[in-house]
Amino acid sequence: MQNASFTLFEPVQRSSCVVFAAPHSGRHYLQEFLAQSVLDVHAIRASEDAFVDQLFEPAVQFGAPLLVANAPRAYVDLNRAFDELDPAVIDSVKSSGVNARIASGLGVVPRVVAIGTPIYRGKISLAEAQERIDRIWWPYHHKLTALLEQTRAQFGQAILIDCHSMPHSAVGRGPLEGTAPQIVLGDRFGAAADETLVAHIHGAFVEAGFRVARNTPFAGAFISRRYGKPQIGQHAVQIEIDRSLYMDEVRIQPSAEFDAFRQCLVSIIADIARLGQSGQELAAQ
């Protein structure tokens, strides 16, 4: 299933209560958006979780769906609330108080790309911002909500794996170089997912040879907060992967290690999907 907002990859037969999603890997840059920007077609991709959708594509082989954003994060950020509007980039929006994400230029319609470089020459209209939210943001979240509700109805629980990548510089600076985490799992410090689930995923990455941290420096944002409801059997775990493991960050191209890393990730995806193949497995651990 595909529309302007997302593409849904579905397994031939659904056998797992796990739903994989990649909200920041979209790379369909509209020409009118590029014309509005002061950035070139390369620089505007700085916020993109490039190729994360390709890394997690094997999920469907193990009975789990994969929901992938089509629109880029620089256009609309699906990991922000629909009302996180930035008055510094959207005309006729009043300041709603202190919000660190908006203040940094990373609201639902971002003002800057991840490296802090402005996207636009000036402001866009509130009508345009709202049109983006209506056309891109809401369809993605309606679909994700429906997927999780259907999953809980079928399996008794749902596990959302929110798939992201992080710049190597976010974790690999200074004294951390060589010992920094390569994978960061976020569960909002236990609020978004059951500990046994997070511990299982943590162990799967460690067993595969990766250095893993939890909640630092990324604990999960809007998606984890909105969908992580372990009290009703709905869990959300954010996975951040160091981009240097699989891509050339400067050129935004897969590196020579891409295929080997993707193959390694397949076994971890399979392990996570198996965790969700029994409606009682998580509770029994």
Q: CA of 242: how far to CAs of 78, 102, 228, 245, in Å?
A: 20, 25, 23, 6
What local confidence, expressed as pLDDT, does residue 98 receive? 65
pLDDT, position 225: 97
**Amino acid identity, residue 219?**
A
Which pLDDT score, from 0 to 100, does residue 284 have? Answer: 39
Q: Which helix (H) or strand (E) holds 124?
A: none
Strands of the 183-186 sheet, one edge to the other: 6-9, 66-69, 18-22, 158-166, 234-242, 183-186, 212-214
Beta-strand relationship, 158-166 and 66-69? unpaired
The string of DSSP codes covering 125-180 is -HHHHHHHIIIIIHHHHHHHHHHHHHHHHHHS-EEEEEEEEE-GGGT-SGGGTTTS
CB 123 within 8 A of CB 90: yes
Pairing of strands 212-214, 158-166: unpaired
Distance CA 162, CA 12 (A): 22
The SS3 of residue 240 is strand
- For the chain, 285 residues long, give each residue's pLDDT as a single digit of tens: 768 899 999 999 999 999 999 999 999 999 999 999 999 999 999 999 999 999 999 999 999 999 999 999 999 999 999 999 999 999 999 877 768 899 999 999 999 998 889 999 999 999 999 999 999 999 999 999 999 999 999 999 999 999 999 999 887 654 555 688 999 999 999 999 999 999 999 999 999 999 999 999 999 999 999 999 999 999 999 999 999 999 999 999 999 999 999 999 999 999 999 987 754 455 434
Per-residue confidence (pLDDT) for residue 213, from 0 to 100: 96
The per-residue pLDDT for 283 is 45
- What phi and psi values does residue 68 have, to the nearest 5 degrees? -120, 130
Whole-structure pTM value: 0.94
- How many angstroms separate the CA atoms of 122 and 151, rounded? 43
pLDDT at 177: 56
Helix axes 195-207, 258-275, angle to 10 degrees: 150
Half-sphere exposure of 70 (CA within 13 A, CB side): 16
Quote the tokens at residue 241. 């992967």
